[in-house]
A and B are shown apart, each in its own frame.
Chain A
Amino acid sequence: MTIRSFLRHETILLLLLVIALIVLAQQSDRFFTTDNLLNQARLMAEVGLLALPMTFVIVTGGIDLSVGSIFGLAAILLGVFWHGLGLPLPLAMALAVLVGGIAGLGNGLIITRFNVPPLIATLATLALYRGLAEGISQARSVRGYPEWFFVLGQGEVLGLPTQLWFLLAIAIAAAIVLGLTTFGRTTYAIGANEVAARFSGLNVARTKLLIYTGSGLVAGLAAVIFVSRVSTTRSDMGTGLELDVITAVVLGGTSIFGGRGTIIGTLLGLILMQALKSGLALGGVKGDGTIVVIGVVLIAAILLGNLLSRNGDG
């Protein structure tokens, strides 16, 4: 029953995606070129990376509003570690990812140890982590990274953009963990009924702690990739990123109330959103017009989800 309804949501997404791609191809003959498609893949890698752990977070019934700020903090600290403290760049990159993990761990601890609702905890850390990024950087940017560093964000490996490999690897790992492991089942169980999960002897706190830490780690990694892609660090990087990430996940069929969602769905949601963005760009809509559409899509996706699930129940 549930399998069937999953399939149904993902089939609808796939259909929408095909329609979107056909429309895009009609609009511009430059769309269906390998170059453009790979470029689109490059552009969506950061949001895609963040959307994977966010799927876990939302499946548990939580939310992580702080990913954009963790992203900004890790990006700034990458610059500070390398340029300010003079550490070797590889070490700085590792530390930046680690900082993301620590920031995520902080979220997890606040949520699990103090029972603060995830929405509030991560809203507070959204301000805190962004504030730290602004305070540490004093609005100065860091540039002048060495040439090899750009391989990560601008280069190619085996014909595909480097970051796409990261996205694919982590997506496959996430799909296996969520779909096939005890950890994944625990994640669903928490989202479906947290109290029942706890009384069934599942380690709810540890699972959530790992998920939020993972979310931070991946945000750190995405930040390093992003810095490599745009060749500079600034403290406002990743502002509003949580909107894109949450939209991709919700569009992918993950229930905002928890308990339901798949990695495949998230990936489809992500691609659909990127197709939408590039379609708007081709149609001459600027960045600010795009976020209007993303906002509408977010609300509409949940609206539809609510209607569908109500039909399913009744």
Chain B
Amino acid sequence: MSFDVMQSRPSFPRRLLGFVEANGQEAIILAAIILLFVVVGVVNPRFLGNSNLTSIFSGNAYIAVAAIGMALVIISGNIDVSVGSLIGVLATIAGTLAVNGYPIIVCWLAPLAVGVAINAFVGFLVAYVRIPSIVVTLGMLSVLKGGLISATAGAWINNLPPEFMLAQFRPFGVPAPIYFMVTLTLLAALWMRYSGFGRTIYAIGGNPDAARVTGIRIERSIVCVFMIHGFFAGIAAVLFATQLQVIQSTVPPNLELTVITAAVVGGVSILGGTGTVIGSTLAAILFAAIGSALIFTNVSAYWLRAVQGLFILATVLADMARRRRLR
């Protein structure tokens, strides 16, 4: 490298990349969210109306919560394509218990317990039986989805008791799901950064062999990661089940892709080992905002999934390029 190249001002793309590396993907997504709100707000001021903001943040908080668990799974070097079906099943369990008069606390906690149990099994198959997580969760997806539809025939659950509707509570005027989203994201972020187990997850995803040599019990840790993921899926399911007056006992379409997209675009490297849950939550908000923005700018919402696909692809390609430069 010659001296005047060192002296010259770096090109714009290079400075942008430098900014990304210094501030992380989170800053970019935050900037994208603000930009989106400003631009769409100018085009159609109703986009910034109270009811729309509530629906963006509160209505999609469950996706952000599920994305936290997904981020952990991906950071550990695995994937879960069954989370949408799992949330559908858990939401139906919560609703069914609620209409049958079980105590509300049971209705809220049962999905968490079932989510942890199901994912403990998934984690067991991945870690101890050594079936790749994509195959286990692909199989699980169809088992849960098919099982749910066979069991319920897609019937709607009505007449949910009002005290069950957790997502409709508004302490201090702010919808409850927003509290959940913010609190869980911050707790998980701190826990991932400072706890021993949090660092373990990064170590496993970064380099499993090195992790094993340092004495980390990889199998047990992976089962734990999946169980935690199941726990977050349970919370997401309760938020999802309680936000409307009915629960349609089917699997919310494309939910797993939305959750994976949030985690990946939020900066969780798909090769494992890096990423934060703050990024995944911001990305979940960004996607909710994009979906809403499409409607407010009269672009057909049918393009939403193409936009999602492009975002995942762009993020993954940028991640690969960054890794190549670092090597």
Contact = CB atoms under 8 A, between A and B. Distances in A.
Interface stretch (A20-28, A46-54, A271-279, A297-305): A297-305
Contacts of B20: none
Nearest to A132: B306
A155 interface: no
B143 interface: yes
Instruction: Summarize A's interface: helix, strand, loop or mixed.
Output: helix
A46 B2 CA distance: 59
Contact of B142 (A123, A130, A243, A256): A243
Contacts of B320: 114-116
Contact of B146 (A115, A138, A235, A288): A288
Contacts of B270: 116-117, 120
Interface string B129-143: 111101110111111
Interface stretch (B54-62, B102-110, B157-165, B309-317): B309-317
Contact of B307 (A131, A137, A298, A299): A131
A134 interface: yes
A246 B203 CA distance: 31
A299 B136 contact: yes
B271 A117 contact: yes
A295 B139 contact: yes
B149 A288 contact: yes
A105 to B, nearest CB: 15
A306 B130 contact: yes
Given A298-B135, A299-B131, A125 B300 contact: no
B145 interface: yes
A71 interface: no
Contacts of A256: 131-132, 135
Interface in A201-229: none
B23 interface: no
A299 B139 contact: yes
Given A298-B139, A303-B129, A134 B306 contact: yes
A127 interface: yes
B10 interface: no
Interface string B31-48: 000000000000000000
Contacts of A288: 145-147, 149-150
B137 to A, nearest CB: 10
B303 interface: yes
B135 A125 contact: no
A63 interface: yes
A76 B28 CA distance: 35
Nearest to B306: A131
B313 A292 contact: no
Contacts of A157: none
A124 to B, nearest CB: 4
Nearest to B152: A288
A121 B316 contact: yes
B308 interface: yes
A151 interface: no
Given A115-B320, A135-B300, A124 B138 contact: no
Given A116-B316, A123-B312, A291-B142, A302 B321 contact: no
B131 A302 contact: yes
B143 A295 contact: yes
B131 A303 contact: yes
A17 to B, nearest CB: 21
Nearest to A292: B146
B140 A138 contact: no
B15 interface: no
A134 B147 CA distance: 27
Contacts of B309: 124-132
Given A135-B306, A292-B150, A110 B140 contact: no
A232 to B, nearest CB: 18
B305 A250 contact: no
Contacts of B135: 246, 250, 256, 298-299, 302
A90 interface: no
Contacts of B81: 123
A242 B308 CA distance: 20
Contacts of B254: 127
A119 interface: yes
A110 B314 CA distance: 11
Given A289-B146, A302-B131, A123 B141 contact: no
A139 interface: yes
Contacts of B302: 134-135, 137-139, 235
A128 B142 contact: no
Interface in B227-270: 254, 257, 260-261, 264, 270
B139 A114 contact: no
Contacts of A125: 309, 313
Contact of A299 (B125, B271, B303, B324): B125
Given A135-B305, A250-B135, 20 more contacts: A114-B321, A116-B317, A117-B271, A124-B313, A127-B305, A127-B306, A127-B308, A128-B313, A129-B309, A131-B304, A131-B307, A242-B138, A243-B141, A288-B147, A288-B150, A292-B142, A292-B150, A295-B143, A296-B139, A298-B139
15 contacts: A117-B271, A123-B79, A134-B303, A135-B300, A135-B302, A138-B302, A242-B138, A246-B138, A256-B132, A256-B135, A291-B142, A291-B143, A298-B139, A302-B135, A306-B129
Interface of A: 63, 65, 110, 114-117, 119-121, 123-132, 134-135, 137-139, 235, 240, 242-243, 246, 250, 256-257, 286, 288-296, 298-299, 302-303, 306
Ranked nearest first, the 8 interchain pairs of A and B with the lowest CB-CB distance are: A128-B309, A131-B306, A131-B305, A295-B142, A127-B309, A292-B146, A291-B146, A288-B149
Interface of B: 79, 81, 125, 129-132, 134-136, 138-143, 145-147, 149-150, 254, 257, 260-261, 264, 270-271, 300, 302-310, 312-313, 316-317, 320-321, 324
